Amino acid sequence: MAKKKKIRVEMRKNRSKPPRNKGWTRGFQEHGFTEVAPVSDERVRAKGDLSRKRTIVQDESAPPQVAGQEHAEMPAVDEVVCLPGRVLRVHGLQSVVEVADGRQFRCVVRRVLRTMNTDERNVVTTGDRVWFLPTQEDEGVIERVEPRHGLLTRASRQREHVLVANVDQVVIVMSLVEPDLKPHLIDRYLVSAAQGRIAPIICLNKSDLVDPVPYQTLIGLYNQLGIPALLTSAATGVGIDRLRHWLRGRQTVFSGQSGVGKSSLLNVIQPELALRVREVSETNQKGKHTTTTAELIRLDFGGWVVDTPGIRQFELWNIMPEEVEGFFPEFRPFVPLCGYPDCTHTHEDRCAIKRAVDRRQISASRYLSYLGMFEEKPMESGE
């Protein structure tokens, strides 16, 4: 039996500000009663916004805390009564978890996990491997979330929004028209993929609606960077066989704007899915949300895919401006040639990166993407 240890973990406070009206304190002081008031150092409410702590029991063999991976501090579970499973989708407060024999359980999350102080918007996400306690025939309570790998994440309302966990690669789906192509959004996805340690694939969809020749330069640019890029069409089947080859035997997440054709591509790859699709708005060229929650789907020819809701904003999470250049591999040969050791490649007069852009050794579009990320401007899908 594994040895246990007790650790203290931060918990969220119920409120960030006291709900009561403090006007009575001001009146008490104005009438001079403070002289007879008893002196006391006791506090009913703890100091600070993040001062609540709780003791939890953890296995001694549990992995140590890793920066940016709060799931390392998870309570121990009784493996005799609990079952391991994987989260297929999350609906509000409930998660659908599948076990090894194919059974599915509708699970809620144990309160101690929901109230842990983490930067994440949700403690459980699609793709998580969890331990849960069955309570009825098809219901249970999630007791523990296993450490994650392969994340696709973004910032949402100053918190981390993990779109999916435990995947191998991301297919970045962008449409050439309806809505129009957003190269800078592709670059933001590439940075997030590198941060989450998943391989990116760029899929330029709806190639049947335009002349594909002008887009060969863009495809060649990313291929030179070692990033697979291809043209696809759910209507004509262009690129589908090649895409299916990349999906076989892997864990893949499809992500992109609303209306770019993620669900349509998956319907062609595996027709039995019958995922719902909708048209793009004619007034603003923005897609309408058809997929409302990320869902893990098993492929008949081997592997899993996650169909995610379309995004309207993709802001990077937990990346300092000084770190952005490290996510642009074409910058690396020129960085040592800059005239200043702390060159930001934005305004400096002796910047080798800017010279390389002028000489077309670095793509001007990619450089503009770098500037946008360095200045920490969120990228709206309508840009």
Shared domain for 175 and 233, answered yes or no, is yes
Identify the domain boundary among 91, 123, 145: 145
Grade residue 383 by pLDDT with cuts at 50, 70 and 90: very low
More confident residue, 157 or 163: 163
- How many domains is the chain partitioned into structurally? 3
Shared domain for 301 and 327, answered yes or no, is no
Share of the chain above pLDDT 90, in %: 59
* CA angle, 301 then 303 then 309, to 5°: 115
Is residue 43 situated within a structural domain?
Answer: no
The residue range of the domain holding 165 is: 152-314
Shared domain for 87 and 103, answered yes or no, is yes
CATH number, domain of 205, equals 3.40.50.300
Is residue 32 situated within a structural domain?
Answer: no
Shared domain for 300 and 170, answered yes or no, is yes
Is residue 70 situated within a structural domain?
Answer: yes
CATH number, domain of 108, equals 2.40.50.140
Identify the domain boundary among 145, 170, 198: 145
Shared domain for 172 and 302, answered yes or no, is yes
Share of the chain above pLDDT 70, in %: 74
Shared domain for 226 and 333, answered yes or no, is no
Is residue 5 situated within a structural domain?
Answer: no
pLDDT at 141: 95
Please write the tens of the pLDDT for every residue from 327-376: 999 999 999 999 999 999 999 999 999 999 999 999 999 999 999 999 87
pLDDT at 194: 96
User: Is the model's pLDDT at 33 over the cut of 80?
Assistant: no
pLDDT at 50: 46
Identify the domain boundary among 145, 169, 186: 145
Grade residue 382 by pLDDT with cuts at 50, 70 and 90: very low
pLDDT at 235: 92
CATH number, domain of 346, equals 1.10.40.50
Is residue 46 situated within a structural domain?
Answer: no
Please write the tens of the pLDDT for every residue from 111-158: 888 776 567 778 899 999 999 999 988 999 999 999 999 999 999 888
Shared domain for 200 and 296, answered yes or no, is yes
Is residue 28 situated within a structural domain?
Answer: no
Shared domain for 93 and 174, answered yes or no, is no
Shared domain for 158 and 282, answered yes or no, is yes
Shared domain for 310 and 325, answered yes or no, is no
Shared domain for 305 and 326, answered yes or no, is no
Is residue 34 situated within a structural domain?
Answer: no
Is residue 219 situated within a structural domain?
Answer: yes
Rounded to 5 degrees, what are φ and ψ at 23? Answer: -60, -30
Shared domain for 180 and 289, answered yes or no, is yes
